[in-house]
Amino acid sequence: MVAILSNAHLYLGASLFGKISEFKFPDIEAQTVESKPIDSIGTTDYPVGLSLSDSSITFIGFNPEAYNELADIYKEHVITMRGNLRVYNGQTLKEELPIKATVRATTKKITPLGTIKGQENAEFQVELNPVATKIEYKGKILQEIDIPNNIYIVDGVDKLATMRANLGL
């Protein structure tokens, strides 16, 4: 079985149909603490948190509506990507399934006119500082990370429920 995600549509409040050439979803990285016991031959890393790497959107040409929305570095933006996942069995298309990804982020860097070259359309690029992500597949939440609210859900299991309870949150 092969699953291919090559078609997606982005929303920044409103539809951005035909206005996006690339969207980079943030990488998820475990933050670790190293343990160096004196009675051991080595060290061990233990996960203690998460971080989300930069995310970015590349627009086809200049988009004044998106620029007006994303130029405010103090505003949190919600970017939603909806995709069509094609599942093949050999060369036969078996099914097409919905996938949805959401990113909450502030603007980190904005390049409104990009690089202008002769006989080429300039690209408007925005780098985002993500604070929350969610991935949904066939209507089910696969993973949700919300750093400000201490939420980390994997396959429907709230991994931080006990910690929040212990902290009285």
**Residues in the chain with pLDDT values less than 70:** none
Specify the residue for token string 């078609």.
7
- CATH number for the domain including 83? 2.30.110.20
Q: What is the DSSP string of 150-161?
A: TEEEETTEETTH
In this prediction, residue 113 carries a pLDDT of 82
Give me the number of domains the chain comprises: 1
Q: Is 164 left (phi over 0), alpha (psi -120 to 50) or beta?
A: alpha
Which pTM does this prediction carry? 0.87
Decide if 161 is inside a domain: no
Domain boundaries, position 130: 2-31+48-136
Tell me phi and psi for residue 93, to 5 degrees. Answer: -70, 115
